[in-house]
Amino acid sequence: MKILLVEGPLLDKIGEREPQIYGKNGTREKLLCAFYEKAKSLGVETETVSEYCEGELAKILANAKCDGIVINPGAYTHTSVLLRDALLCSKIPFVEVHLSNIFAREEFRRKSYLSDAAVGVVTGLGSATYSAALEGLVNKISTDKETDLG
Ligand code: DQA
């Protein structure tokens, strides 16, 4: 099984940007380490893409070749019909993730263009967010495969 981790803009700045919200120096390393460790323990292959440009992200998503996607769209979560369309075009199951709890912040962050099309949403678990999403997604894909066979 192959899972694509997709990060939108400013997620490479975790540890530097608004540390009171996203975590201090070292959080990004912890976040990615936990994700890759979880992938190893689940025996799944991963690829990671970090991209600022909305159009490029859409191209990557629409042409993705993998079994599942874990995506932190950053600010595009709250604005992008394009990313929603690209994910639907891919027909690949995805989990939307956020390090912060988007429901406990500004009103405008409560709206996501992706959530209702996602298999699930993981929001607010800090450095455990990506690994928790990966575990849930892999579990869901495996269960759905078994059901298809049965
Ligand atoms: C974020 C939440 C978004 O609202 C914000 O624009 C981000 C990061 C998170 O991981 O908590 O860039 O996706």
Q: Choose the residue to mutate in 10, 72, 110, 123 for probing ligand 1, maximizing ligand atoms within 8 Å of C-beta.
A: 72
Atom 10 (ligand 1): residue with closest C-alpha?
Answer: 98
CA pair distance 44, 97, nearest whole angstrom: 19
Ligand 1 contact via 80 beta carbon (within 6 Å): no
Task: Give pTM, 2 decimals.
Answer: 0.97
68-72/94-98 β-pairing: parallel
pLDDT in tens, 98-114: 999 999 999 999 999 99
Ligand 1 contact via 28 beta carbon (within 6 Å): no
Q: Confirm whether 78 is a catalytic residue.
A: no
Q: Which of 36, 52, 76, 98 is catalytic?
A: 98
Measured in Å, residue 77 CA sits from the centre of ligand 1 at 8
CA pair distance 87, 93, nearest whole angstrom: 8
pLDDT in tens, 82-97: 999 999 999 999 999 9
Ligand 1 contact via 10 beta carbon (within 6 Å): yes
State yes or no: pLDDT of 66 exceeds 70.
yes
pLDDT in tens, 118-135: 999 999 999 999 999 999
Of ligand 1's atoms, which has the minimum distance to the CA of residue 105? 4
